[in-house]
Amino acid sequence: MSGMLDKTDLFKYAAASYLCWWVKNDRDYFGWNDLTEEKLKKFLTLYSVRRTIPGNDLSAFISIIEAQRGIFITPDDVPRIIREACRSVEIKHNRPCLSAVSKILWMMHGDPIAMYDSRARGRLQQITKEPLIGYDEYYACWVREFGRVDEKIRKAQAWLPIASISRRLERYGAATGRELRSWIGQPWFANRIFDQWLLHSGSEWTKARSSVVEVALMLDPTEARV
């Protein structure tokens, strides 16, 4: 089994993995349409960051979302926007809640926001041998490393619409072929392919039995080779 995983293109796996996550979860939150506190709470629980926020009042996060509506941002804007949002949350909750803030704002803007995740940070540190302290350093490293593998991500995006997983999703009525192609081709989708690759490209990949099951559920091994 591990031999097959060694031959799997992890960018294809990351692309298929995020497509499934998007169809099942993220498309209900992206853009924060019909925003309610209950919907936000479910999102924070889904992304395992609800526990990082003291108390039950999520109004500070709702205010951040509403303040960002209709605003166009560039990569240069991202660190400042994250810092300002974290400061407003810290005033309310006595902690910046960086991971939660970055995930909430990604759902508002998509790319060029990068979600801050301790596992992704650990993998970036492992790859670059750089200590990443705070979001500014993390984001700069994230952008640089994304650029380094950009061609591989683009190839995974080109492959995914014709992959077996996309055909199955369409056949089972999860989405139309047009919807799948429109999502997969977006910069924000490439952004999350990179996130998924960071989470699955470490040394634990070939050791975890669950990884074998996940690959079997999503990929035909004859089409997902390196």
pLDDT-derived band at 205, boundaries 50, 70, 90: low
pLDDT confidence band for 204 (50 / 70 / 90): low
Band (218; pLDDT cuts 50, 70, 90): confident
Entry field: residues in the chain: 226
Distance between CA atoms of residues 170 and 164, nearest Å? 10
Distance CA 90, CA 68 (A): 18
Write the Ramachandran bin of 187: left for phi over 0, alpha for psi from -120 to 50, otherwise beta.
Answer: alpha
Q: Which two tokens stand for residue 48?
A: 């395992």
**pTM of the entire predicted model:** 0.92
